[in-house]
Every structure is written in structure tokens, then in C-alpha cells.
Chains A and B, each alone.
Chain A
Amino acid sequence: MKLAGFLLLLAGWAIVVAAVVLLIPANARAIFVLAGVGVEIIGLTLVIRSNPLAGREKE
């Protein structure tokens, strides 16, 4: 799960870079940058949750 999280982090960044480099319209660029950030947040959540001690206080 940790590896998947890190891959999602990289994938999110790749979306951000692609949006910045390839898209011209400002609105489309902003939407894709935010989408990339969203993917990164999912990846970061996965990495955090893969820590064996994360969330244990709820059990």
C-alpha cells in the first residue's frame, strides 16, 4: 500500500507538470493542476495509512 501511495504521489505530480507544460487556457490548466493535487492527497493518505501505528488509537 505504501508503494502504491508513493506511485500516486508521483502520478499526481506528473499530472501537474503536464498541465503546466502542455495546456494553454488558464482555466483548464488550473483545473488539471488541482486534479493532480487531488491525486497527490489520495497518495499521501495511502502512505500515511500504511504506517502500522496510524489510526490505532481508534481501536
Chain B
Amino acid sequence: MPISITEIALIIILILLAPLAIAGLSLINTGLGRSRSAAHSMLASLCIFAVAAGAYLICGFAWQGYIGAPAHVIVAAGRQWNWLARAPFFFRGMDFNASALSLAACLQIFSVGLAALIPLGACLDRWKLSAACASTALLAGCTYPLFAHWVWGGGWLAQLGINAAMGHGVIDAGGSGTIQAVGGLTALALAWILGPRRGKYSLEGMPTAIPGHNAVLILFGCFLALFGWFGLNSAGAMLFTGAAPVRVVLISMNTALAAGAAILAAVVITGLRFGRPDVSISANGWVGGLVASSASCAFVSPVAALVIGGIAGALVTYSVEWFELHFGVDDPGGAISVHAVAGIWGLLAVGIFARFPASVMNVAGDLPGASAARDSAQWLAQIVAVATLIGFILPLTYGLNFALNRIWPQRVPMEGERQGLDLYELGGGAYPEFITHSEEFGQFR
């Protein structure tokens, strides 16, 4: 795909905004956790990003590939179905010359880092640092590249438009499914495997509230995440759906409007239900709006983005309660609701609200001209993507992490939870001056 120097400059700027999403999510996770695990949470965020980038360098990109790159193909019913890329490991043979391929590889380093960070939110206060790194390697080296190839690398989901006349194939411009739902479903699998924090549920199974320790970190993280999502959505739309650079204006508006509608929905719903707005659920609503906006950001009107965001905010608000109260899943950061539930909604929203311009390009091949009939079948392609996430990616990520847990137990011992992960795994806390040590009083009269 030839791109002009202006487009290259714009895409590079947008890609360099993407790490702000990682920074924002790290702050949100840390703020929603306990103070005695805050330093551990931030350090784990950095380590997870580092491991994800390394694993993606080794084999992730080789299996994800890019449009037009060599791939393994199955022929079924007379049609070719592309199921796995066949690129060299370690980015070998790639020219880092700002070609579309190298720009996509650069964006993917940050995207996979963000996807790998999502499970940390569900595993706060009880996940070993070493196990988090090992689990991240599985996600970045196996689960993520597989689904990303299918959607963004010209794989069989992207080919649904050409091979099965399902709209333009699966469209996921900014990664509602590829980044967010994959990370969110991994978070769900890990939350099941690790079990709830000690003290979270009574013997009768009733959950107790363990509020986050720093609301300012949470809300500042939300602001940072907005800028990160501008980059993710815009760069993703340009590189993976062929959106024109002028669409960055619409994409940025839609991203902000969806987040705004989502947090307002969460504030109103929690205000009506609990008598006053809940900070952590409202912040989760904001991020849920960002997540839901990603897939369709380039192809919906601002009004549709408002609706998508509002529904995402409501979904997140109720979903947090359902997972905690009815499903017995302890998710301190709300990662499952925010990333899995809102991500799946974002994918489905493409099929409901998106209207594609004549120039839209599917990664599996150009489908010239807009067609109302073709657009009307888009919903089925999006449902196939959701079915693949729930029916294949969830069992795969659960199986991989279950096996890892057998080899290397992922949960800290009871003593670690009692002390807090800062003291148990790092030997010092994030806020040492807040701790009263009896020996300090013994030294002075």
C-alpha cells in the first residue's frame, strides 16, 4: 500500500500517542488496587509491556503478518482461507523505511503491550510478577497474533467479505476486538484461575467492597487514555482499513464523544442507583466508551458514536455488578467489563451503525464501490468475529494459562496477600512514609 510522506508523518505522530493509552491504563489499574500493592502494579505494567514487546518481536509479528505477506492457506469448498502468517521471526528481512509494513509493526508493539496490560486489572493484589510476565509471553506470542492476523493480517475473518459475501469482512479499525476483547477475555480466564482476593467474599458468597486506593490516579489515567486512544484509533483505521488521513478529524471526534457519553451514562446510572455517582465505575465507563468506539470510529457519524458510547457506559456499569455479585468473579480493575464486554459491543456496533464510503478497503482485498446490499451483511461478519473470540480465543487463553498455572503457580501465597505485593515481592512500598514503624518510635524519645 503506497503512502505519501504526509501520511507517514501523520501516522508516526499518531503511533507515538498510543503509549499514552498504556500509561493511562497503568494508572487506572494502580489506583483501583490496594495501596500496599501500588508499586508492584506500576512495575508489573512496565515489565508486562517489555515482555509483550519482546515476545512479539520473537514470534508475534511472524504469525500475525500483514496485508499481502506470505501466509498458510487452507482450501475449503473451492476457496482459499488464510489462517496463519508465514513471516520470518525477529522482524528479519523487514526494511524499517516507514513503509506501511514497518509502521504497522511499530503500532503493533504498542497495541500488544496494551492488550497484555489488560489482564493485570483483573488480577490486582494477587498475581506474581514472574507469572504475569510468563502469561504475557503467551498472550503476546500466541493468542494476540493469531486473532490479529485473522482480522488485520488478511486472515479468514478479514476474507469473509470476499469469500462469503459478508459485508467487507470483519472491520475492527482501532482494535475493539483485536486488542481489547482479546485482553479482556484473557483477564476473565485469569480471574477464574487465580480466584478472588482473600476477604473479597464472605463464607456465604456475598462480596465485600474493597475500594481503590487513589481516585486521582484513576481519573488522571482516564485523561491520558483518551490521548492514547486518539492515536490507536486513527493509526489503526489508516493502516488496517485504509481510511483516508482526512478521517482523523471524524475519528478523534467519535472517540471523544463515545467516551463522554459513556461516562455520563455511568454517572447517571450509578447516581440513580446508589444516590451519588461512583468514581471507579464512572472511570470504567469512560474507558469502556473508548474501547467500544475503536472498531467503528472511522465509519460512523458523531451521533452514532454518542449512542455507541452511551450503551457501552451502561453495559459496563451493570456488567461490573454482574461479574462481582452473580458470577463470583473478583475483577478489581473492572478489566473484564471494560475490555471484554465493551470490546464485544464495539465489534457488534460496526454491524449496526457503520456506513462505509466507496474508498473503504478491507485488508483482505479491495471491494470496489459502496454497496448497500454488501453493507447490510456486515452484521454477520461481526457476529462471526465475536463467536471466534468467545468460542475459540477464550478456551485457548484459558487452556494456556491453566497449563502455565500447573507448571508455575500464578497466585502469591496467603502471606503475600496479607503483607501486600509491594513488601512481599519488592521489599518496599509505594508510600513508605504512610507506614508507621514501631522501631522509629523506639529510636527517639
Partner-B contacts on A (CB < 8 A): 6, 9-10, 12-14, 16, 20-22, 26, 29-30, 33-34, 36-37, 40, 43-44, 47-48, 51-57, 59
Contact = CB atoms under 8 A, between A and B. Distances in A.
Given A9-B395, A34-B383, A51-B328, 11 more contacts: A12-B391, A13-B388, A13-B391, A33-B384, A44-B390, A51-B192, A51-B327, A52-B328, A54-B328, A56-B204, A59-B204
29 contacts: A6-B395, A9-B391, A9-B392, A12-B387, A13-B387, A13-B388, A13-B391, A16-B384, A20-B160, A20-B164, A20-B166, A20-B384, A21-B76, A21-B77, A29-B164, A33-B387, A34-B383, A40-B387, A40-B390, A44-B394, A47-B192, A48-B327, A51-B328, A53-B327, A53-B329, A55-B326, A57-B205, A59-B204, A59-B205
A56 B205 contact: yes
A26 B164 CA distance: 9
Interface in B306-364: 325-329
Contacts, number: 84
Interface in B22-69: none
Contacts of B386: 37
Contact of B328 (A14, A29, A53): A53
What is the interface residue range for chain B against chain A? 20 to 34
Contacts of B387: 12-13, 16, 33, 36-37, 40
A30 to B, nearest CB: 6
B9 interface: no
A21 B81 CA distance: 9
A20 B380 CA distance: 10
Given A26-B377, A33-B380, A53 B390 contact: no
B201 interface: yes
Nearest to B76: A21
Interface in B162-204: 164-166, 192, 196, 201, 204
Contact of B392 (A10, A48, A52): A10
A27 to B, nearest CB: 11
Contacts of A48: 327
A33 B383 contact: yes
B398 A53 contact: no
B383 A37 contact: yes
Contacts of B164: 20, 29
Contacts of A56: 201, 204-206, 328
Nearest to A56: B205
Contact of A53 (B165, B196, B394): B196
A35 to B, nearest CB: 11
A43 B221 CA distance: 36
A47 B397 CA distance: 14
A33 B399 CA distance: 24
Contacts of B383: 33-34, 37
A58 to B, nearest CB: 8
Nearest to B398: A6
3 A-B pairs closest in CB distance: A56-B205, A53-B328, A13-B391
Contact of B380 (A30, A44, A52, A57): A30
